[in-house]
Structure 1
């Protein structure tokens, strides 16, 4: 679809239910038809007006004359040896983003199916260990484009594993809190009874740390989980790998997380990649423990996934065990997250949305 053709019609999924109802009435359609259309768009994930079979042909033609539905399309797909599936999604304007289906590995979690979704095309934060951070940020994703990733990954889960999606993590390409409104709108559509009706407690939004927007999440009383990509509890070290820390210091982040907890009562997750000979000493563990005392949190220790643009290495297993053991000895809840999909560049920090046909 050309850009000129796209501009001739409006994206119908940018209308609220009330706006759609008003439009229908203005065009001599009965108001209740708007509810039917909204259900097709968000509950049944219709990709065209022709699919809306309980509407008359005249009504469908009217909608088609004025509006577009702009679903993303699977451009390429790769399956890892561990079952992880990475998809490259092409958007209506030709841009690419990536999303990942992560099936459970452990038998105890065999019903768990997790979608990792993107919120931006590229990223502006330039984190030194992340492939997306080396890309240009081209634009934010609309709420419907985030929603479409979830719908598609859910379809993949059902087709490949015979089970529906159970969890969603906003940990793909981009910084979710720099696309604040669209991210919250996408969560609303995913969790609404008029949408996918998933529990917000099954959703985790991960941020590199935008203190002002973390406080805004508290003010908005969000029900989903929040994760902070910390990776160093020392401003000097964090500045080196995450330039965003220069304007959002650990002190500012701790205050924002405390505010978020007071407003929502939700314990935060601190994500911490252990880089070899950089942030993996017992002193680093002590600094992380000190940070956890400032805000109720659990810690996810994440295995590093090498990228071509950086020289960081994953720490060795013995160092990781000592690091985790120290935190646990201080009463910190620690989970060690093993990477999935490394053989297809689908693991944490590896998503780059490259057009492999280019």
Structure 2
């Protein structure tokens, strides 16, 4: 890690142009560097071969590129890949490549550790060390795209911010990373194939709606009964479901994009008809669909997956009320890569 030079990827295009102007270079040089950084994903200033050697040496006096690198890669029997991604300061985050016959999805992290305290999630047991930079988020996407091409002979198609951390609590980096990923001068991916998953911070949901990024939104709900949700996700005491719903309604008003509710059904916790009816009422307040997620056990978790009959009961009553619902089977459980299992065991 270099502590004296600044990572050049921290500079915006405007800041790059200002720098080149200050050293007597034309503005188009900044655009060349920007393309190397965000479209060609150069990890060394020496790679920028359309710059003169003297100019590259001048850049090297002041700047560095600190790429994230795969520290450990694990492959699941179902084709899922989990990466322990090492950052320039020695911290590690985890990201996951989830392949199917029609697509490849990258599940990326936004924080080292997590700021929240969800009782069913292994990541929540890690202290939040720091937020990731936009470049560190983009690096995860680029690394998984390379893996998808290598192991499945197709490019990355979808991105979900469902890895380590709460994306809304690293809002500036997450939104800037999305812009880099979707920019034609960057990775050029469709924003409609990006989903930001949040545990529910109303003012940030409203702020994201105003960004007009055209991404999808998912909310980790797990109970539409306030007292139960507060037990499962203690931080949510600060964010009542009424406030969350108001922000979701604003989201739909601004974006016309329906919300996905992520919902785990546990035995003895939220497996009654009262729980299902509460979810039905909640869903009817805003255009939405429900993903019923398989629970993935964690050490000393104390939770158990509800029976298949209960899950089917959820599906039955939701669909009876006109609400789209499906069971989302987890991938990569054998390598602790499934939802809620990311815990930096390496």
TM bin (shorter chain): over 0.9
Aligned mates of 2:131, 2:175 — CA distance in 1 = 13
TM superposition shift of 1:332: 0.5
- Structure 2 residue runs of 5 or longer lacking an equivalent are none
Instruction: Say yes or no: does 1:229 pair with 2:225.
Output: no
Instruction: Say yes or no: does 1:241 pair with 2:232.
Output: yes
- The equivalences for 1:1-20 within 5 A come to 1=1, 6-20=2-16
On the 8 A contact 1:131/1:309 being kept in 2, the answer is: no
Aligned mates of 1:244, 1:155 — CA distance in 2 = 37
Q: Once the two structures are superposed, what CA deviation does each residue of 1:26-53 show, in whole Å capped at 9, x if it has no partner?
A: 1122221111100000000000011111
- Helix, strand or coil at the partner of 1:278: coil
Given candidates 306, 311, 315, the residue that maps to 2:306 is: 315
Look up the match of 2:198.
207
- Helix, strand or coil at the partner of 1:284: helix
Given candidates 252, 265, 270, the residue that maps to 2:261 is: 270
Given candidates 64, 69, 78, the residue that maps to 2:74 is: 78
Look up the match of 1:327.
318
Aligned residue pairs, count:
346
Look up the match of 2:148.
157
- Helix, strand or coil at the partner of 1:147: helix
Q: Could you tell me the TM-score, scaled by structure 1's length? A: 0.95
Aligned mates of 1:260, 1:161 — CA distance in 2 = 35
Look up the match of 1:40.
36
Aligned mates of 1:129, 1:117 — CA distance in 2 = 19
- The equivalences for 1:1-358 within 5 A come to 1=1, 6-104=2-100, 110-354=101-345, 356=346
TM superposition shift of 1:243: 1.1
TM superposition shift of 1:22: 1.0
Q: Once the two structures are superposed, what CA deviation does each residue of 1:75-124 show, in whole Å capped at 9, x if it has no partner?
A: 000000000000000000000000000001xxxxx230000000000011
TM superposition shift of 1:212: 0.9
Aligned mates of 2:25, 2:210 — CA distance in 1 = 39
Aligned mates of 2:142, 2:213 — CA distance in 1 = 22
Q: Once the two structures are superposed, what CA deviation does each residue of 1:179-198 show, in whole Å capped at 9, x if it has no partner?
A: 00100000000000000000
Q: Could you tell me the TM-score, scaled by structure 2's length? A: 0.99
- Helix, strand or coil at the partner of 1:39: helix
Q: Once the two structures are superposed, what CA deviation does each residue of 1:111-165 show, in whole Å capped at 9, x if it has no partner?
A: 3000000000001111000001011001000000000000000000000000100
TM superposition shift of 1:219: 2.0
